[in-house]
Structure formats: structure tokens, C-alpha cells
């Protein structure tokens, strides 16, 4: 069930919100249990065959978490560590089987000169996100920060539908207190308006901008990768750069807005990353919860920067390589992660020298180099094969055809350039929603919209949302790109 469909916004969402609010009057546990069941129903719409897998993963991790926490309370650190290792092996094994079995098998067979028949294992949607969410939970339990072990609360923590399919990656300590907060179970007109603002703007980003610029991506990457002019190659690479930006930004806005309707605040996961003036800054802005997870649960446990620059660089490379592989079982993702690891190593190495440059020059040069590096890496991220990415990059570097290719029949380059200019202006010049409506302003707006003004704004937002949905349904609602990861 896609966020950008009538079935979700006019069917599932009102029923889920009404049930959660009404049952909240009879007790928090009833409301939490209802929303957990509703979230399982939301997941089942994608493929009910994988619901037992999701519920099995939740059950095993819940029981492991209790054992780890119990060992921590009794100061049995060795026993707790053994349970934690068992949990890590279980989750990585599950993810490895469903996501990487064919990748590992085919590459191993190639190295050994053997033939390999793919297992054809379908990837359960959201498995990367609910696996990382639960890994973080187990580590938190081992650290002693796991406090609430009500089964329904834990189940909702994992399956909560605004985040389940494409993030953000949640942390137990951030979500559990909100689930039991009485304020989240009370309906509010102001809350509906604020959540609606995020929803409508997210719909606009997805349906109008991301899906609009997407038409210039597939012809370059999927049809004519080996038959491009330099301009065509750059148009395709930049079109994907902005498609992914607005698609993921849209999902983050919609997830935040949906959760806000329920009185539950999700962590900010996207903060104008193309304004970054360094790769370090980029990763503080792009998929923030993933980069935080990789830092806290992989980079720091590996030693972080505590053992000298060489060890820090090795830790950065390993972290980003695994971060790339997390996105998909393909060498293109490994190369993408490796490039960002290399970028971070170089960024850390030259940071002391760059501080000596004039501030304005440092910012302009840093932004230019960062965006160029990000675009190059996105080519690998989007390409189906490494050789496809290399051909596109070769054309971008000036090795493309000198005359227009057959692509000109499928893609109006002049129109594409206008799209790119518009996307660049929005992403680089305009503030994002979180800058415009910081937490304090959100609360003020929510209070201001509790009366008649809120009703008027809610009507306007509903009208705009219906118009956008009509456009989406006419063209055929498209999935968010991060559903594939």
C-alpha cells in the first residue's frame, strides 16, 4: 500500500487514526495493540507471505532482548554478551539469506570457476530497516537502556507503519516513551494540520518533482548507456541525482507527517544534503538515521578515531563499504560505498589544510567538489551493472558521441535542462520544512490551528492532497525508490 494512493490516504489512514484515538480513551495498551495490528495489516498488503517472517523476527528479538536485559540487571556480562552475539548472528543471518544469498553464491561460484543456479529468493520489503532497528534494540538492551518490554509496544516499535518500509531507523529509547504518552492518544485539529502540511508537501515532491524528472533517468541508464553524448550522460546523471533527492525527501516528509498525526515524533532523516560543503557534512544531512546507526553501532565499536589516523581511515572504509552493501546485493552498491569511504578519508585528511583557506572560497570550493563527488557516486548507485556506470561516466568525462544519439527521440534535452534547473533551485536555494517549522514553531502552529483556522487549513490541505492523488492515480502511482533497499 503506497502512501501516494487513495487506498492509503482515504482508506487505511483515517481508519487507523480513528481506531488509535478512540481506543486511547479506554487505555494506552488497547491503542498500542490496535496500531500494532494495523501496521501488520499495512505490511500484509505488500505480501502477506512475509508477515510470518516479520512476526518471527519480532518474537525472537523480543525474547533475546529480555534475556540480554536480564543478564545486565544481574551483572552477568558474559551471559549477556553471548545472548547479544546470538541476536546479531540471527539478524545478520536472516538478512544475509534473503538479501545476499544469491550475491554470495554467484560470486563464490565465479571465483571457483563453477556454474551457479540462482535461488531466486524474493526480498521481503523493509527487511533492511526492521533488521537494523532490532539490532540497535539488542545493543541498547546490552547497554542497559532497554526499559519497556511490553510485547505490543515492542511489536509497534518495529512495525510502526510510517517507518517500516523505508525508514527512518528507529531507536527504542526515542519511541517507547512516546507510545505511552497520554497526549499522543488525544485527537487534535492542530496536529492534523501540521501533519497534513508535511503530507501534502511530501506528495508534491514525489508526484510532481521526483516522478517528473524520473522520465529522464531510465532512457540514459537502462536503454542507451553505451550510446550517449556528454550532455546526455550529464543530463541522465543529474536527473537521477534529483529524482533520488526528491523521492527520498518526499518519503521522509510524509513519514514525519503521518507519524505527527498520531502524536509521535519521528527523528529527522533528511536535511538538505545537496547544500553540504563537505562529504562529512553530506552524511550529517543524508539518511541521517542510517549514518547515525553506522557510526554508533559499527564505526565506533570498530575503534572509531581512537587508534590513530590509519585505523580511523580503515574503519571509515569498512563502515561505508558495509553501508553500501546494506543498500543492495550488487557490486555497484559496494563501489558506491567504497567511493564514499574514500571521500571521507580524503575529507578527514585535508580538513586541517582546508581550514587555512578563506571562508568564502572554502565553502564554494567545498560545495562544488562535494556535489560533483556525490553525482559520480550516484551513477554507480543507479546503474544495474558496473560496466554501465563506467560507460556513463566515460561519456560524462568527454568520451561520449559527438552527434546526438537515438536517445534524442525519447528525451527532449532542452526540457530536461529546465527540469534540472528547477530541481537545483528548489534543493539549493529554498529552506527545507524542518528549517521553516522547527520543533518550537511546529508546536506554536499546532496551537494556533486548534480552532476555526485549523478547520479551514485542513480543508485546503485535503483539497490539495486530492488533486495530487488524482494526478498520481492518472499516471499510475509509483513506489518510493528506497523501497528497494
3-state secondary structure (DSSP) of residue 274: helix
Angle at 170 between CA 426 and CA 137, to 5 degrees: 155
Q: Can you tell me the distance from the alpha carbon of 47 to that of 466, in angstroms, rounded to the nearest whole number?
A: 27
- Give me the chain's average pLDDT, please: 89
Residue 290 domain-assigned? Answer: yes
Q: What is the pLDDT of residues 264-290, one digit of tens each?
A: 999 999 999 999 999 999 999 999 999
Q: Which domain holds residue 308?
A: 205-434
pTM score, whole prediction: 0.93
- C-alpha angle 263-4-443 in degrees, rounded to nearest 5: 25
Q: Is residue 452 situated within a structural domain?
A: no
Is residue 157 domain-shared with residue 249, that is, in the same domain?
A: no
Give domain status of residue 477, yes or no: no
Task: Tell me the per-residue pLDDT of 355-375, one tens digit each, with 9 for 90 and over.
Answer: 778 888 889 999 999 999 999
CA dist., res. 72 & res. 270, Å (int): 35
Residue 193 domain flag: no
Identify the top-confidence range among 75-84, 108-117, 127-136, 437-446: 127-136
Asked if the model's pLDDT at residue 146 lies above 70, the reply is: no
Q: Has residue 49 been placed in a domain?
A: yes
Q: Are residues 177 and 249 located together in one domain of the fold?
A: no
Same domain, 254 and 167: no
Q: Quick check: is 453 in a domain?
A: no
The DSSP call for residue 318 is: H
Q: Are residues 293 and 243 in the same domain?
A: yes
Largest CA distance in the chain: 74
The per-residue pLDDT for range 259-271, each reduced to its tens digit, is 999 999 999 999 9
Decide if 350 is inside a domain.
Answer: yes
Q: Which of 67, 51, 289 is nearest to 155 (CA)?
A: 51
154, 187, 220: which is the final residue of a domain?
A: 187
Domain count, the chain: 2
Q: How confident is the model at residue 237 (pLDDT cuts 50, 70, 90)?
A: very high
**What is d(CA 290, CA 467) in angstroms, rounded to the nearest whole number?**
33
Per-residue model confidence as pLDDT tens digits over 409-451: 677 888 999 999 999 999 999 998 888 877 677 778 778 887 7
- % of the chain surpassing 70 pLDDT: 97
Give me the catalytic one of 313, 327, 340, 348: 327
pLDDT over threshold 80, residue 331? yes
Q: Are residues 284 and 414 in the same domain?
A: yes
User: Which residue, 411, 434, 457, sits at the end of a domain?
Assistant: 434
SS3 385: coil
The residue with greater pLDDT, 408 or 8, is 8
20, 147: one domain: yes
User: Is the domain of 218 the same as that of 183?
Assistant: no
CA distance 323 to 311: 18
Q: What is the pLDDT of residues 156-187, one digit of tens each?
A: 999 999 999 887 998 888 888 898 888 887 77
CA-derived radius of gyration, the chain: 23
Contact 281, 363 (CB under 8 A): no
**Do 118 and 224 sit in the same domain of this protein?**
no
214 in the same domain as 180: no
Q: For residues 171 and 240, state if they share a domain.
A: no
Is 327 noted as a catalytic residue in this protein?
Answer: yes
Do residues 297 and 415 share a domain? yes
In a domain, 217, yes or no: yes
Q: Are residues 124 and 257 in the same domain?
A: no
Other CB atoms closer than 10 Å to residue 387's CB: what's the count? 11
What is the structure's pLDDT at 280?
95
Whether pLDDT at 403 is above 70: no
Amino acid at each position: 500500500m503506497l502512501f501516494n494512493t487513495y487506498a492509503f490516504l482515504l482508506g487505511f489512514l483515517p481508519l487507523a487514526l480513528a481506531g488509535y484515538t478512540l481506543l486511547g480513551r479506554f487505555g494506552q495498551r488497547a491503542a498500542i495493540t490496535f496500531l500494532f495490528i494495523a501496521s501488520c495489516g499495512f505490511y500484509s498488503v505488500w505480501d502477506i507471505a512475509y508477515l510470518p517472517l516479520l512476526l518471527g523476527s519480532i518474537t525472537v528479538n523480543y525474547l533475546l532482548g529480555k534475556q540480554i536485559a536480564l543478564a545486565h540487571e544481574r551483572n552477568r556480562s558474559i551471559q549477556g554478551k553471548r545472548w547479544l552475539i546470538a541476536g546479531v548472528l540471527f539478524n545478520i543471518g536472516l538478512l544475509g539469506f534473503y538479501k545476499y544469498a544469491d550475491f554470495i553464491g554467484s560470486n563464490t561460484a565465479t571465483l571457483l570457476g563453477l556454474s551457479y543456479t540462482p535461488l531466486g529468493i524474493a526480498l521481503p520489503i523493509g527487511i533492511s530497516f526492521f533488521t537494523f532497528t532490532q539490532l540497535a534494540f539488542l545493543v541498547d538492551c546490552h547497554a542497559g537502556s532497554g526499559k519497556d518490554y511490553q510485547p505490543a509496544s515492542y511489536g509497534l516499535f518495529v512495525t510502526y507503519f510510517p517507518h517500516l518500509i523505508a525508514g527512518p531507523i528507529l531507536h527504542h529509547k526515542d519511541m517507547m516513551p512516546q507510545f505511552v504518552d497520554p497526549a499522543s492518544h488525544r485527537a487534535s485539529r492542530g496536529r492534523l494540520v501540521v501533519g497534513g502540511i508535511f503530507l501534502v508537501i511530501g506528495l508534491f515532491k514525489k508526484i510532481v518533482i521526483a516522478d517528473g524528472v524520473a522520465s529522464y533517468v531510465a532512457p540514459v541508464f537502462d536503454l542507451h548507456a553505451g550510446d550517449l553524448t556528454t550532455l546526455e550522460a550529464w543530463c541522465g546523471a543529474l536527473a537521477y541525482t534529483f529524482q533520488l533527492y526528491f523521492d527520498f525527501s518526499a518519503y521522509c516528509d510524509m513519514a514525519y507527517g503521518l507519524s505527527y498525526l498520531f502524536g509521535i515524533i519521528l527523528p529527522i532523516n533528511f536535511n538538505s544534503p545537496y547544500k553540504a560543503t563537505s562529504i562529512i557534512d553530506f552524511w550529517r544531512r543524508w539518511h541521517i538515521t542510517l549514518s547515525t546507526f553506522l557510526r554508533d553501532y559499527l564505526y565506533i565499536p570498530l575503534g572509531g578515531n581512537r587508534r590513530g589516523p590509519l585505523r580511523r581511515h580503515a574503519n571509515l572504509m569498512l563502515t561505508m563499504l558495509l553501508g553500501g552493501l546494506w543498500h543492495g546485493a550488487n557490486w555497484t552498491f559496494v563501489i558506491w560505498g567504497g567511493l564514499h569511504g574514500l571521500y571521507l578519508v580524503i575529507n578527514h585528511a585535508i580538513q586541517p589544510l582546508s581550514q587555512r583557506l578563506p571562508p568564502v572560497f572554502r565553502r564554494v570550493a567545498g560545495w562544488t567538489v562535494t556535489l560533483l563527488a556525490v553525482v559520480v557516486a550516484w551513477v554507480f548507485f543507479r546503474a544495474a551493472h558496473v560496466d554501465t556506470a563506467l560507460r556513463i561516466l566515460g561519456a560524462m568525462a568527454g568520451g561520449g558521441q559527438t552527434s546526438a544519439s537515438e536517445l534524442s527521440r525519447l528525451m527532449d534535452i532542452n526540457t530536461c535542462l529546465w527540469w534540472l534547473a528547477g530541481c537545483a533551485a528548489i534543493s539549493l536555494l529554498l529552506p527545507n520544512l524542518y528549517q521553516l517549522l522547527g520543533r518550537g514553531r511546529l508546536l506554536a502552529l499546532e496551537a494556533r490551528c486548534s480552532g476555526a483556522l485549523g478547520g479551514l487549513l485542513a480543508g485546503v490541505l485535503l483539497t490539495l492532497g486530492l488533486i495530487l492523488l488524482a494526478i498520481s492515480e492518472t499516471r499510475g502511482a509509483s513506489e518510493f525508490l528506497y523501497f528497494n533497499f
